[in-house]
Structure 1
Amino acid sequence: MKLELWRNATLLLQIGGKKILIDPMLGEKGSLGKFPMTDNELENPLVDLPFSEEELKDKLITIDAVAVTHLHPDHWDAKAIELLDKNIPVICPEIISEQIAQSGFKNIISIKDSIIWENISISITEGEHGTGEIGEKMGKVNGFVFKTEDKSIYIVGDSIWYDGIAAEIDRHKPQHIVVAGGAATFVVGDPIIMTSEDIIKLGEYAPNATVLVTHLEAVSHCKENREYIQKKINENGMENRCLVLQDGMEYSL
């Protein structure tokens, strides 16, 4: 099993002999513009993909499926809709399948709980994209657990740490857990994805799992960068099993 971070939450997962592209945000730097309710004028995404558009097209030819956790534009943007083959399998929670179909995709694998696809078990997990009124406005979000006979990985998606994530860890017992870090926060309300404190709590709850941190330095409402999160990981003695992923790098799991 291998995992390559492209940028933000966009990951290429190699598992069971298949390549699954997760949460594709494929537009160029600045293509999403300014996000609402932020305290800056930065245009998103803040960085380009770590390879050229030609290289991107070559990579897209090799993928076997796409998996989408939710439809916020930093996880599913207009460029992804434009570039992806409309016949490619798109794995998604049932709740967003109709909207994806409206974009012209013809091979949607809608999941209510779990399925087996190409000898890979894929389960939908729950998440909370913030608290209170902000959490309600952000809407429903999900994650995925991918499992083969000997490998398992839990893509938490855009969620804070709460009892529901602990319950998913108890249920699936994943070897690897991918979290959205960065403490993204709007001008009102609490963080809508994991803070470094959340990441440490998750790591303490799942002492036998490797924790992989994504969603960093790519969107304007994130408050914690890679250096800060790595510092907190080191301070808590988790550097041997908690990894802050770098754009463009491939990791064997």
Structure 2
Amino acid sequence: MKFRQIRNATLHIEYAGKKFLIDPWLAEKGALPGFGGTVNDHIRNPTAELPMSISEIVDVDVVILTHDHPDHWDNVAKESIPKDMLFFTQHEKDAQSIRSVGFNNVHILNETNYIDGITLIKTPGLHGSDNVLKDMKEILGDVSGIVFKHPDEKTLYIAGDTIWCQAVEDNLKKYNPDIVVVNSCDAKVIGGASIIMGKQDVYEVYKAAPNAIVIASHMESVNHATVSRKELREFLGKNHMTQRVLVPEDGESYSFA
């Protein structure tokens, strides 16, 4: 397995001979306004450049969209990815959105899916606390994660845009992943409520998966991020977590045999 952090939640995963692109957000730095209803919405997005060329990013076999939010799927991705690309989405609503711009090989993730010997498992999460979702359900919507399994590979769990919650804890217990990717910049809406993981959430994942490597993704790329890589690394150091928690820079890769 090879993991490469692109930017935000955009990842390259090489797994059992297939190349996967997760949540492609490919706009130029500062091309988009800040997200309304979130902190620091005066800052334009993305807040970081892509670390590699778009042609290299989209040179994959499969695209997986964990959910149809504008920092996971944008117009540049729609224009740059071949329209016959094999695409997986969490449900019909997202599939229809992708088909509506010309993609013709879009599939909905069932609970368990198979592709050339690879098992893909759709997992649940929560894009904020119950109180946040009560007020902002239409904006935050449904989210999903994905587990990769193959006899010759380590089990990989990409949690997606979720806070630490019972669903994530259950996923860790059920699938016992070797590698866990968590979106960790503590993005916040106005009022200060978190909608993805922050430092304490990463600590909860670390404790709940004592044999796993944890990778902190979705860092330093959106206006509503409130935790930097530097701050997270300091937290990891103080809590003696650095041996099992990785905080990649954009463009950085890891291989797992």
Normalising TM by the smaller chain, what interval? over 0.9
1:76 maps to 73
Report the AA paired with residue 71 of structure 1.
D
Counterparts of 2:99 and 2:67 in 1: how far apart (Å)? 14
Superposition map of 1:175-190 within 5 A: 175-190=178-193
> Are residues 207 and 47 of structure 1, via their aligned partners in 2, closer, same or farther at CA, if it must alter by over 3 Å?
same
Report the AA paired with residue 183 of structure 2.
A
Among 91, 105, 108, the alignment partner of 2:106 is 108
Per-residue CA distance 1:123-142 (angstroms, 9 max, x = gap): 10001000235322411100
Counterparts of 1:102 and 1:12 in 2: how far apart (Å)? 25
Unaligned runs of 5+ in 1: none
Report the AA paired with residue 49 of structure 1.
L
1:235 maps to 238
Counting aligned pairs with the same residue, the percent is: 36
Deviating more after overlay: 25-34 vs 152-161: 25-34
SS in 2 for 1:50: coil
Unaligned runs of 5+ in 2: none
Deviation at 1:57, TM superposition (A): 1.2
Deviating more after overlay: 197-206 vs 103-112: 103-112
CA contact (8 A) 1:134 1:189 kept: no
Report the AA paired with residue 138 of structure 1.
L
SS in 2 for 1:98: helix
Query: How many residues were matched structurally?
Result: 249
Superposition map of 1:149-164 within 5 A: 149=151, 150-164=153-167
Counterparts of 1:47 and 1:119 in 2: how far apart (Å)? 36
Deviation at 1:151, TM superposition (A): 1.9
Counterparts of 2:184 and 2:165 in 1: how far apart (Å)? 14
TM-score, structure 2 as length reference: 0.93
Per-residue CA distance 1:50-98 (angstroms, 9 max, x = gap): 12xxx321442x3101010001111011110111001010012124212
SS in 1 for 2:190: coil
CA contact (8 A) 2:125 2:161 kept: yes
Counterparts of 1:201 and 1:131 in 2: how far apart (Å)? 16
1:34 maps to 34
Q: Structure 1: which 4+ aligned runs deviate by more than 4 Å?
A: none
TM-score, structure 1 as length reference: 0.95
Deviation at 1:219, TM superposition (A): 0.2
SS in 2 for 1:170: helix
SS in 1 for 2:121: strand
2:198 maps to 195
Superposition map of 1:1-253 within 5 A: 1-40=1-40, 41-51=42-52, 55-60=53-58, 62-95=59-92, 96-135=94-133, 136=137, 137-149=139-151, 150-253=153-256
Counterparts of 1:98 and 1:227 in 2: how far apart (Å)? 39
SS in 2 for 1:100: helix
CA contact (8 A) 2:39 2:188 kept: no
Deviation at 1:39, TM superposition (A): 3.8
CA contact (8 A) 1:131 1:189 kept: no
Over aligned residue pairs, what C-alpha RMSD do you find? Answer: 1.2
SS in 2 for 1:79: helix
